Structure 1
Amino acid sequence: MADGRICMEIFEVEDFLRNPPNGFRVESRGSGHTLVKSDPNSCCVFIDEFNLDKRKVIFQFSTGREFVIDNLGNYTKMREKITSQQIYLLASASDISSLKGETIYRTAEVSTYFIVVLNGKHPLVKWQMEKGLDRAISSVAGESYNVEIDLSQALQSWVERRENVLPSALKGKSWTDCSFSLKYHSDALFDIPFWFGLSNRHFKITYE
């Protein structure tokens, strides 16, 4: 996704592991592990370990779904990364079916997990990221805070607009759990708002 005009891409996990994109290398370990390597300076990977076909899949340089920051310098560096690089996330999907006029969600039988790639330097994405982070910071008063960045709505819209050209495995899905969080830990002596869960912030990336 070198082209800054492309906003998002989706891969079935199995396809991603069989044919990893440029910058990734997949190694199978005899201990029942699959190790996915990438250059931590060229992309942001927010994927926790997960199991697939009785094997544990580990992204070597992933920070996991939550990235912990303890000073302003590291916050600035991470902010620059997520607004200038590709962001890799793991999303889950449920099949959508209808019964007597009601929408029913059931776990997808094939390829429950998908790798979602968001282009952080895409103008629309970058603007929403910066705006959401600015609002989160301005709403706290020096205490620790947690800000969740949710891509589920953007992913749902992106897929719906491409129903005619996407593989069948991506159609008719409800997308969930497509998010990552930045946790800032301040050195405040009495971090009372954070202790009581009052410093949690959340914003959604949308795709128009």
Structure 2
Amino acid sequence: MATEDPVNKANLGRINSNRSMMSFSSVGSDILSSATTANCEIALLPLKLLIELQPTYLTLEDGVLTSNNQSGGFNLFSDDTTLIDGCQCRIVNYIQRKVTLRSHVDYKDYRETILAKPMLLITNARKVNSGATSAKTFAIVVNTRHPQIRSKVEDGMNSVISSVMGENYQLQFTFSNAVREYLQRQSFELTEDNLSFSFTFKLDVLVDFFYLFGLSKKNCDLHGKILNLYCTNNSRKERVKMFLSKMTSPLMRLGSSLDHDRRPSVFSLDMITEDPFPQEDGISDSAPVLPLNS
């Protein structure tokens, strides 16, 4: 009886593991030569590539994904666990996708915190018409330094405050539609409904009919131009790494409500100010479109 070649078996395993990623285009040099953090609203790339390029801020070891964001990094929105390329993993240091705020101080801390660092959401998607086990894990990075993103988040929070009649209210932010539409153009489909987060501002009031009947529960559907940062070429990886490093670098907002005269935020410590977004130098190599399992 013929024995199976271990080398061929290993190669076949790698091909099967990437089958769901076929036809997903790679970021090209023409995009990287002009893209800066100033004109990237939302970035999308495989989660494991993000971990590879940002090891200072993200680590995945023994089924545990850890976000290190005390000095820069990401605000990771998640639940206790997440599915990463088919494996259930525990999350360490994250912001709950659903939080309850009990005071105006908590509200201000939360508002500043979610705008202080890039938002990171994790989801799974698969190639259209492929099996359920072929889903791969993507990182959705929302650039909160981009003026359009900042204004949309701030406008959503201002709008719900000005429109509610009662003391209690709820606001949900969602990126599902924007990401779903983009992935559909790449012949991918989401396998999870987890690209959202929300807060409930709740005070101790006897009866709040507006909240009970959903009149003060609002949804903010956030759209933005999505930049695909997937790459396999080492030179492009270095460009993407530099690009992400600018977005995640720690900055301090002077005069923030988190200054020394007030207690630290219950969510995080680092606030940001404006970023000069210096223009990057161009690169000369060509910009082919590559399948992920090339």
Bin for the TM-score computed over the shorter chain: 0.7 to 0.9
Please name the residue that 1:132 is paired with: 156
Which of the residues 97, 100, 108 maps onto 1:68?
100
Task: Among all aligned residue pairs of Structure 1 and Structure 2, give the percentage whose two residues are the same amino acid.
Answer: 20
Q: Which has the larger share of strand?
A: 1
Does the 8 Å CA contact 1:90/1:116 hold for their aligned counterparts?
yes
SS in 2 for 1:4: helix
Tell me the CA shift for residue 156 of structure 1: 4.3
Letter in 1 for 2:214: G
Q: Deviations over 1:122-155 (max 9, x none)?
A: 0111111111111111121242222111112333
Please name the residue that 1:6 is paired with: 40
SS in 2 for 1:68: strand
Please name the residue that 2:76 is paired with: 45
Which of the residues 35, 56, 65 maps onto 1:35?
65
TM-score, length of structure 2 as denominator length: 0.54
Determine which structure has greater relative contact order: mean sequence separation of CA pairs < 8 Å that are 6+ residues apart, divided by chain length: 2
Q: Which has the larger share of helix?
A: 2
In structure 2, do the counterparts of structure 1 residues 37 and 130 end up closer, same or farther at CA, with 3 Å as the change threshold? closer
Tell me the CA shift for residue 189 of structure 1: 2.4
Does the 8 Å CA contact 2:175/2:196 hold for their aligned counterparts?
yes
Does the 8 Å CA contact 1:92/1:177 hold for their aligned counterparts?
no
Please name the residue that 2:212 is paired with: 195
Please list, as runs of the form range in 1=range in 2, the aligned pairs for 1:1-208 lying within 5 A after superposition: 3-17=37-51, 19=52, 21=54, 23-29=56-62, 33-40=63-70, 42=72, 43-48=74-79, 49-52=81-84, 55-96=87-128, 109-156=133-180, 171-175=186-190, 176-207=193-224
SS in 1 for 2:38: coil
Please name the residue that 1:168 is paired with: none
How many residue pairs are counted as aligned between the two chains? 187
Q: 84-93 or 34-43, which moves further after superposition?
A: 34-43
Tell me the CA shift for residue 202 of structure 1: 0.2
| C-alpha distance in 2 between matches for 1:205 and 1:40 | 26
Tell me the CA shift for residue 7 of structure 1: 1.6
Consecutive unaligned residues in structure 1, runs of 5 or more: 98-105, 164-170
Please name the residue that 2:267 is paired with: none
- Computed over aligned residues only, the root mean square deviation of the Cα atoms, in angstroms, reads 2.9
Tell me the CA shift for residue 178 of structure 1: 1.5
Consecutive unaligned residues in structure 2, runs of 5 or more: 1-34, 226-294
